[in-house]
Amino acid sequence: MNNDSSTENWGLTEKGFNRPTYTTLLNALEYKARELYGDSVNLTVRSPLGLFLRIIAWVWNILWACLEDIYNSRFVDTAAGTSLFSLGRNIGMQVLPEGKATGYITISGTPGTRIPAGFLVSTNGGLQYVVTSAVTIGTGGSVLAIIKAVKTGTEYNTDAGTVLVIVNPSSVSGITDVYNKSEITGGREKETDTAFRDRYYKSVDYAGGVNADAIRAALLNDVEGVSSAYIYENDQDVFDEIYNLPAHSMEAVVYGGLDEAVAQAIYARRAAGIQTLGSTEIDVLTASGQTMKIRFSRPSPRRIWIRITNLKTTKEFPGNGAIKEALLEYIGDSTSGGLNIGVSVVYIKLPGIINSVLGVSDFDLAISSDGINYVKENIAIGYRQKALTDMEAVIIT
């Protein structure tokens, strides 16, 4: 359908979707009315026919706007709200919902004092957090407790040493002070359309790339069984002493996946002329019939021992196996991902994993990297290593 002054088509054209404006629609209706009734027909705003045409143009304008929205909902750049999030689901993305910040606090006081779930603490600025599971102060005079913000939002993400206030000090006697040794994180608003689009493009722009990020994305997204991967590269003309890489080389450190599949993914994304390094070597046949040796590394396993003593539980406790399974899931074992390559074992995070098991009320915890010397501090993991544990390494007495 054409208007009276232009031959440009309405609707879907070779240039995209062309939506006529209200004025264009009204002009087209008036043009047709004059063609049918003559140029002398009264189409003023107060005439019956003029009013009717304006009502029709208004309704048509709404319909064309709906059609334009439907057309735009097919593209990430123009889709909005539910339509945009639906496009994300096509590649396995979900919109990030609003979330409450979580973390840990150290509660000090009289040994044996029980802190119930729901106990309130806050920052000096009034941001309140609630203890999620009941804990009991041990013989050392303190205990770690998991806390969660009472409301969602990024403002509840706070630095270490800021949660210091007992909101209702008279509710539990025997508590002297509270303190968060690490930051409280995880609070967020519902993901906006703009943030979702940015995350969408970051997840798919590796498809045609040949850089380190593209190789890592291909390994994580396309190779079944890969749970962790890092790419270290040296694009300089001199030896890289930090990562021990010769000039113009790269090393992929990959956990999981079949050797052949990993090598194929690296070859498909590797820039021409860049040599690959690593302890594993796989022959890959190129499209030109040449056999190319692709090298990569598997992370060295760093076994972690965990010793839990003075364990106190309630009748709901399902057994020691539940604690072991929770720790194995968090750190990882020979069959599951857990912590990523090069990620250190942070001591203060482990009590929260144990406390998440139903029925656990109190315990003492120490960790070790050799099964002999146990400490209550972090265990550093090298960038070519991966922390692992197993049922035998989790000792509960």
Q: What pLDDT is attached to residue 7?
A: 37
Give the Cβ contact number of residue 315 at 10 Å: 5
Torsion angle, alpha carbons of 95, 331, 214, 269, to 10: -140
Integer Cα distance of 308 and 363 in angstroms? 7
Determine the residue type at 236. Q
Q: What is the pLDDT of residues 140-190, one digit of tens each?
A: 899 988 899 999 988 999 988 999 999 988 888 899 999 998 888 878 888
Cα–chain center distance at 216 = 16
Instruction: Mean pLDDT check: name the lowest of 70-74, 199-203, 234-238.
Output: 199-203
Confidence (pTM): 0.48
Q: Is residue 328 pLDDT above 60, yes or no?
A: yes
| Residue 75 DSSP code | S
Q: Is residue 332 pLDDT above 90, yes or no?
A: no
Mean pLDDT of 84-104: 78
Give the Cβ contact number of residue 173 at 10 Å: 9
Mean pLDDT of 367-371: 94
Q: What pLDDT is attached to residue 102?
A: 86
Q: What pLDDT is attached to residue 203?
A: 61
Q: What pLDDT is attached to residue 208?
A: 52
- Model confidence at 306, pLDDT cuts 50, 70, 90, reads very high
Please tell me which residue, 334 or 227, carries the higher pLDDT value.
227
Q: Is 162 exposed, middle or buried (0-12, 13-18, 19+ CB in 10 A)?
A: middle
Average pLDDT over the chain, rounded to whole? 87
Q: What is the pLDDT of residues 282-301, one digit of tens each?
A: 998 877 788 889 999 999 99
Q: What pLDDT is attached to residue 4?
A: 43
Q: What is the pLDDT of residues 239-250, one digit of tens each?
A: 888 888 898 899
Q: What is the pLDDT of residues 198-216, one digit of tens each?
A: 777 766 555 555 678 788 8
Percent residues over pLDDT 90 in the chain? 44
Q: What pLDDT is attached to residue 335?
A: 65
Please tell me which residue, 29 or 196, carries the higher pLDDT value.
29
